Chains A and B, each alone.
Chain A
């Protein structure tokens, strides 16, 4: 239990019994805070230069901060002529459709895997896991060949379909974890009390699985939103998304690349803010990924 005790100054609340091994104890607290500070610094560090670059005008080596600032990059990003926001919208639209399709296909599949034992279940589980284990690049070359034949290459529907390869397994995995801890008796009770099939789904099933759907959808959205090589190959340069746009500026114009990176981070942050309470650790769905 000693682990949960925090120095009164750190916990703020006080009321913590004084520790008998005073000196060693405070070392632990100091160590913990050094660790947490180091961790936060490491996690935030790569984002810092992106922000600075986006507002810099002159920033030559060895200046630690830009010698001149400018809104040039941001003006370029926002001006309709360059259509960055159009591309961002395109990327979001693809990610939203991919997420919706993943929910539509993944929730039922997760329900089957989480609730039922049946012959061939292991095989089905391995099939669903396979796209996570086998890298996307290894299959996308073959998919490209198929899509050219089917007329799906260089098109948004093609890009949406290929994004399902990495997103659907995550959604299914998360949902199978959720349904493994789900009690169907509530559904039966609702039905026997006269609720329609639809009402049962809406009033009983959905609220129970909602946190899991949010986590799965968050994963699906982010995987699609940040997809690079699948879009590059299947989109064939015809489907422009933010990651492709960003890549083009990394070496040539760090200021634009910095601003684009910030635009690239924002929606994901908003999505996280909306769903952070579901991600906060004690959600069974997060652990669901740990159930491979």
Chain B
């Protein structure tokens, strides 16, 4: 084995050293890029949030930016709104995605077509979906026109505010629309690889359909649902363009608030923008860690 390894790696290194070298060489480029860009961006943002900006003569560290944003009522409202958007979208999308995957699991006529439409959605950019939701659900949108045609309302003003509204309904609709296929494709992949044997056994032992799903199928797909919904939560918590297009003017979603402070002509708002970015980073990480811990425990039991 040692001889073969030596011959294959083409060096005189021991097997263990050669293995370590292989791993390092394979990982180094990706790690380097992530360290430089991601960690570099995060650390720079953090320093700037502490007011460290040597170029304009700010050389000391302080927490002014943090105390400003945390005492700002608008920021707190934005934070609550952003959490509401991420939590509600992820919850609804996860439930509907599991239901969709169960619907699409068995063989049926036209399954290939249905699956194509299902995964087609994965490739449609978020922004296009947002524009579509805007043209569907705005006051003069298609749904409002249909409601008028059906005699339900008689002017755009009679249509409930679903876009640029304080409850972020339009934003949530867009995220649910986009993320059902994302979570659904992952769940479907697991369902197909697990097969229906376990469920059949449970059924033959007297479990009803719901019990078989709840106690057999759900625990099997849960790890996949957790992983996918973590990605969705992180994305919806930090996404910018959807709330920028479909969100209300007050309160604004956190990413919108941070972006606007950053591009503000007043340079004094920059540390606050950076502080908001740090809050977004820390809070989304914390919530995701907590969620993973809780759901992992739930999955095991």
Contacts and interface: CB of A to CB of B under 8 A. Distances in A.
Contacts of A281: 115, 185, 188-189, 192
Contacts of A1: 196, 200
Interface string B85-126: 000000000000001100111111100001111111111111
B234 A133 contact: yes
Interface in A82-122: 104-106, 108-109, 111-113, 116, 118
A286 B166 CA distance: 36
Contact of A130 (B34, B45, B119, B180): B34
Nearest to A142: B45
| Interface-centre pick from A142, A146, A169, A282 (highest chain B CB count, 10 A) | A142
Contact of A4 (B38, B106, B273, B284): B106
A53 B238 CA distance: 30
A282 B118 CA distance: 15
A133 B284 contact: yes
A61 B126 CA distance: 26
B146 A64 contact: yes
Contacts of B38: 130-131, 134, 139, 165
Contacts, number: 317
A43 B131 contact: no
B4 A162 contact: no
A269 B20 CA distance: 42
Contact of A135 (B26, B123, B193, B239): B239
Nearest to B42: A139
A180 interface: no
Interface magnitude class on chain A? 35 or more
Interface residues of B, number: 107
Task: Please classify the interface of chain A as helix (H, G, I), strand (E, B), loop, or mixed, using the class held by over half of its residues.
Answer: helix
Interface string A27-43: 00000100110011011
A128 interface: yes
Contact of B196 (A4, A165, A172): A4
29 contacts: A6-B109, A10-B109, A36-B108, A39-B118, A39-B180, A40-B117, A48-B136, A53-B135, A61-B156, A106-B30, A130-B38, A131-B34, A133-B230, A133-B288, A134-B234, A135-B234, A135-B255, A137-B255, A141-B48, A141-B273, A141-B277, A142-B48, A146-B41, A225-B125, A233-B259, A233-B262, A243-B125, A261-B131, A268-B124
